[in-house]
Homo-oligomer: A and B are copies of this chain.
Amino acid sequence: MTSAPAVPQSATPDLDDHLDVHLEDEEVAVVDAWWRAAMYLTVAQIYLGDNALLREPLRVEHIKPRLLGHWGTSPGLAFVYAHVSRLIRRTGQEAIYLAGPGHGGPALVAASWLEGSYSEIYPRVSRDAAGAQRLVRQFSTPGGIPSHVSVTTPGSIHEGGELGYVLVHAFGAVMDNPDLLALAVVGDGEAETGPLEGSWKGISFLNPQRDGAVLPVLHLNDAKISGPTVLGRKDPAEVRALLTGHGYEVVEVSGSDLPGMHHRFAAALEHCWTRIRSIQDDARSGGWDGSRPRWPMIVLRSPKGWTGPHEVDGVRVEGTFRSHQVPLSGVRENPAHLALLEQWLRSYRPEELFDADGAPTTGANDPVGALRMSATPAAGTGLPSADLVLRDFRDHAVDVTSPGAAQEESTRRLGRMLRDVYVDNPTSFRLFCPDETRSNRLGDVLDVSDRAFMEAVVDGDEQVSRDGRVMEVLSEHNCHGWLEGYTLTGRHGLFATYEAFAMVSASQTVQHSKWLEESLALSWRAPVPSLNVLLTSTAWRNDHNGFSHQGPGLIQVMLTHRAEVTRVYLPPDANCLLSVADHVLRSRSYVNLVVIDKQPQLQYLDIEAAAAHCAAGAGIWDWAGNDDGSEQPDVVLACAGDTPTLETVAAAQILRERLPALRTRVVNVVDLMGLVRPSDHPHGMPDTFFRELFTDDADVVFAFHGFPGAIHQLVHGRPDPGRFHVRGFVEQGTTTTPFDMTVLNRLSRYHLVIDALHNARTTPQGAQELEDWCTAKLAEHHAYVRLHMEDLPEIREWRVGGA
């Protein structure tokens, strides 16, 4: 065993005595050897460019030119991994490992190489001396792999980048995965983030009958990059109270003594696993009263940089923030440091850990085949998951006899479609929503599935139960993260949220897009179901809410992602929404953003026309314009989004009726990315189609749901983009009517008509009169608003300027 450095043991209570698991010496030896090998390879990755297995004395020229990486958290990550592997060996438990302290990348990469899965996936990094050499060379090196756990790391569904999501990913992974155990290591740095603190409550939504289990290991090592952590320094009694309050049974293991730590951690793990299985067995065999189980978790206190250099140049390193990254920094210049490094590396006794060929001798600790956590099918290693069973979306079509004849809450139709999806896919589809399923008119799903809730359900509650699969929690972070974990393990879902507050989880959208972008290049990663985001309660229809509830910013964020994964849809009505929904639910490896309001709105296309329109992504609405198929309309009125479409159709009607001499064409865009050049986006419409819609040179008045700059960006490089005059949300809003919102943002039908007149190819007789009429209409509106406000306080005086 590794000799224990003289670190004072924590004062916190160790695991209860009744957990008297005691490992035989041989068992300890197996786990400890594996742990030493993982640590050895971690240090080697950080330091060595050559002499990877230390088969010769260490010399300066073996050291990498630049030393990068994170040592501090790695020994703990490897320690936990070693012991979970032992548990898997003994029990056959299917498990997935999520490393919250994701900068411990080298430890996880080492684990995969030791288990053999790394070489199976990347044959050149073979399980021998040559492979070991490549393994250490590639780490944190240009052209190599990053220092954190990444998409390239076998067994991972969790990027070690932005902190905060290890538990939401773990909970998402085990939903409807009854046999899976997600081992989630939470670092005490990450534990300070809001999203992480908000994610302990996952157990309040986890049903032991049909879901798997999450076993959190809160790894307290006291320090972040250069300072202490709150949970690391809190009185252990407070930490215990906190986690007990979240609903967990807290099992604590602390210290650095060996083999004591092996015995205690093995006992803790044994205890937790037994408890988890007993909870599950009870629930699945009818012996459960339905109350939320007190799930176990582990608090592991071990020194930061455990087993690393204890002191360097007289300054304590092990157990302090100084071991966060590279604890011995001057090894190329300072022979004493070089000697210390060699001593450190040799303390793991590499000669015992690798055979003559350089293959690891630590196989006795490895589970077999797919039970290895670095090869678990749950992490996308293997065949694609099953597609959703989807009925014909036409089943829920709105009957549209003529454009604009019907009015309907479009998302209500989607709710009916999703109700069917729930029925037909009882264990592979979930809807995630921050407390707004009914408000978003998706409530029909609640007829076939309650909301999931494991805390007390009382008389008077409606459609809430432990058996529900509709996930409502007032946390965009939880909803988004659960869905990520759910889809990354092969299942399907939809996150429906308030448009303005989608920015709360925008960084998750960004990070998930990056994950998908990288995964597309790795053939061993099975394509995963897309992350579908539905935004409703939009900026334009927030009647009684104010400015803080009005913001279409997520579209803008989506446009920064790589084209391969980015899809943005703005269906103008219910039938288009159904067609789009059908498409996105069948798709894989995208982030699909769908934006449509929940309020009653005009319906334009019958279901077949809608399907064709959505398949094309955009089209000319002949019935709305009056250019009669001419190739040379005087002006094109384009629109994307429900409210802009309404105003555009109304503007076209005004023009048709009051200035028929002007040949106006109406183009509706559903698939926003169609506007991009085909060289820049797979959905980019061919130039010929673009010209068919927008002509070569006619001016285009474009009414857009989001910020106008988005359209300017998208049509860049198209023929004469300067002719696109975009109206959109220009950050004007308040508590007001939907129509006034369009006036405030200069996107109303009257503004569009005036824009059309100003930019049309010709100026027919009567154009000036029509402009005057529109101006008068707007003045009338302003007068009405002002009149209305006259009786209202001066609080809103500023607003008249805005209008």
> Which A residues are within 8 Å of any B CB, using their own CB?
66, 68-69, 122-125, 134, 137-138, 140-148, 150, 152, 159-164, 189-190, 192-201, 204, 224-230, 233-235, 238-247, 316, 320, 435-439, 451, 453, 455-458, 460-462, 464, 472-478, 500-501, 503-504, 506-507, 510-511, 514-515, 517-518, 521-522, 543-549, 551, 553, 556-557, 559-562, 707, 709, 712-713, 716, 720-722, 731, 734-737, 740, 785, 788-789, 791-796, 798-799
Cα distance A204–B188 in the bound complex, in angstroms: 15
Chain B residues with CB below 8 A from A461, complex form: 227-228
Cα distance A191–B747 in the bound complex, in angstroms: 38
Please state if A195 and B198 are interface contacts (CB–CB under 8 Å). yes
- Contact among B124, B320, B721 for A722, CB-based, below 8 A: B721
Please state if B194 and A477 are interface contacts (CB–CB under 8 Å). yes
Please state if A503 and B514 are interface contacts (CB–CB under 8 Å). no
Most buried by B among A247, A522, A793: A793
Cα distance A144–B464 in the bound complex, in angstroms: 37
- Contact among B68, B162, B514, B736 for A143, CB-based, below 8 A: B736
Cα distance A338–B521 in the bound complex, in angstroms: 65
Please state if A793 and B475 are interface contacts (CB–CB under 8 Å). no
Q: Report the minimal beta-carbon distance from A355 to chain B, rounded to whole angstroms.
A: 22
Chain B residues with CB below 8 A from A709, complex form: 559-560, 709, 712-713, 716
Q: Which residue of B is nearest A190, CB measured?
A: B474
Please state if A551 and B560 are interface contacts (CB–CB under 8 Å). yes
Q: Report the minimal beta-carbon distance from A368 to chain B, rounded to whole angstroms.
A: 24
Please state if B148 and A548 are interface contacts (CB–CB under 8 Å). yes
Chain B residues with CB below 8 A from A793, complex form: 122, 124-125, 134, 138
User: Can you list 25 A-B contacts with CB-CB less than 8 angstroms, sorted by A residue number?
Assistant: A125-B793, A137-B792, A138-B792, A143-B785, A143-B789, A144-B792, A146-B547, A146-B548, A146-B549, A161-B545, A163-B474, A164-B504, A194-B198, A194-B199, A204-B230, A224-B435, A226-B438, A227-B453, A233-B458, A244-B245, A510-B553, A517-B731, A709-B712, A712-B712, A721-B721
Q: Report the minimal beta-carbon distance from A6 to chain B, rounded to whole angstroms.
A: 15
Please state if B435 and A226 are interface contacts (CB–CB under 8 Å). yes
Chain B residues with CB below 8 A from A517, complex form: 547, 731
Chain B residues with CB below 8 A from A556, complex form: 556-557, 559-560
Whether A228 touches B161, Cβ cut-off 8 Å, given contacts A241-B244, A544-B69, A736-B142, is: no
The 8 closest A-B CB pairs, nearest first, are A242-B245, A161-B548, A194-B198, A146-B546, A521-B798, A709-B713, A241-B245, A503-B507
Please state if A460 and B316 are interface contacts (CB–CB under 8 Å). yes
Chain B residues with CB below 8 A from A224, complex form: 435, 474
Chain B residues with CB below 8 A from A148, complex form: 545-546, 548
Please state if B734 and A146 are interface contacts (CB–CB under 8 Å). yes
Q: Which residue of B is nearest A498, CB measured?
A: B162
Please state if B504 and A451 are interface contacts (CB–CB under 8 Å). no
Cα distance A458–B515 in the bound complex, in angstroms: 39
Please state if B68 and A543 are interface contacts (CB–CB under 8 Å). yes
Q: Report the minimal beta-carbon distance from A283 to chain B, rounded to whole angstroms.
A: 19
Cα distance A386–B286 in the bound complex, in angstroms: 68
Chain B residues with CB below 8 A from A244, complex form: 238, 241-242, 245
Please state if B795 and A138 are interface contacts (CB–CB under 8 Å). yes
Cα distance A517–B775 in the bound complex, in angstroms: 27
Most buried by B among A461, A474, A561, A791: A474
Cα distance A320–B227 in the bound complex, in angstroms: 46
Please state if B456 and A233 are interface contacts (CB–CB under 8 Å). yes
Chain B residues with CB below 8 A from A320, complex form: 460
Cα distance A341–B198 in the bound complex, in angstroms: 39
Q: Which residue of B is nearest A459, CB measured?
A: B316
Please state if B146 and A545 are interface contacts (CB–CB under 8 Å). yes
- Contact among B125, B228, B243, B795 for A453, CB-based, below 8 A: B228
Cα distance A537–B355 in the bound complex, in angstroms: 42
Whether A230 touches B473, Cβ cut-off 8 Å, given contacts A69-B544, A195-B198, A713-B712, is: yes
- Contact among B150, B503, B795 for A152, CB-based, below 8 A: B795
- Contact among B225, B478, B544 for A194, CB-based, below 8 A: B478
Chain B residues with CB below 8 A from A514, complex form: 547-548, 551, 731
Chain B residues with CB below 8 A from A189, complex form: 435, 474
Given A189-B435, A192-B473; 5 other pairs, CB 8 A cutoff: A143-B789, A146-B549, A204-B234, A517-B731, A712-B712
- Contact among B241, B247, B501, B716 for A712, CB-based, below 8 A: B716
- Contact among B438, B511, B788 for A548, CB-based, below 8 A: B511
- Contact among B122, B140, B243, B464 for A245, CB-based, below 8 A: B243
Please state if A162 and B194 are interface contacts (CB–CB under 8 Å). no
Whether A225 touches B560, Cβ cut-off 8 Å, given contacts A161-B500, A192-B201, A198-B196, is: no
Cα distance A477–B198 in the bound complex, in angstroms: 12
Chain B residues with CB below 8 A from A66, complex form: 543-544
Q: Report the minimal beta-carbon distance from A512 to chain B, rounded to whole angstroms.
A: 10
Please state if A68 and B544 are interface contacts (CB–CB under 8 Å). yes
Chain B residues with CB below 8 A from A146, complex form: 544-549, 734-735
Cα distance A500–B146 in the bound complex, in angstroms: 15
Q: Which residue of B is nearest A193, CB measured?
A: B475
Cα distance A518–B707 in the bound complex, in angstroms: 19
Most buried by B among A439, A506, A785: A506
Most buried by B among A159, A196, A551: A551
Cα distance A511–B549 in the bound complex, in angstroms: 9
Please state if B150 and A548 are interface contacts (CB–CB under 8 Å). yes
Most buried by B among A144, A162, A458, A464: A144
Please state if B204 and A193 are interface contacts (CB–CB under 8 Å). no
Chain B residues with CB below 8 A from A477, complex form: 193-194
Q: Which residue of B is nearest A738, CB measured?
A: B142
Q: Report the minimal beta-carbon distance from A120 to chain B, rounded to whole angstroms.
A: 12
Chain B residues with CB below 8 A from A791, complex form: 134, 137
Chain B residues with CB below 8 A from A546, complex form: 145-148, 150, 161
Most buried by B among A68, A204, A556, A792: A792
Please state if A124 and B198 are interface contacts (CB–CB under 8 Å). no
- Contact among B137, B192, B246 for A242, CB-based, below 8 A: B246
Cα distance A562–B549 in the bound complex, in angstroms: 15
Cα distance A511–B125 in the bound complex, in angstroms: 49
Most buried by B among A240, A435, A798: A435
Q: Which residue of B is nearest A203, CB measured?
A: B230
Chain B residues with CB below 8 A from A68, complex form: 543-544
- Contact among B134, B453, B475, B548 for A792, CB-based, below 8 A: B134
Cα distance A543–B66 in the bound complex, in angstroms: 10
Cα distance A736–B475 in the bound complex, in angstroms: 36
Chain B residues with CB below 8 A from A500, complex form: 161-162
Cα distance A193–B478 in the bound complex, in angstroms: 8
Please state if A731 and B560 are interface contacts (CB–CB under 8 Å). yes
Cα distance A473–B230 in the bound complex, in angstroms: 8
Please state if A230 and B201 are interface contacts (CB–CB under 8 Å). yes
Whether A474 touches B228, Cβ cut-off 8 Å, given contacts A241-B242, A241-B245, A792-B134, is: no
Please state if B475 and A143 are interface contacts (CB–CB under 8 Å). no
- Contact among B228, B503, B551 for A464, CB-based, below 8 A: B228
Chain B residues with CB below 8 A from A192, complex form: 198, 201, 473-475, 478
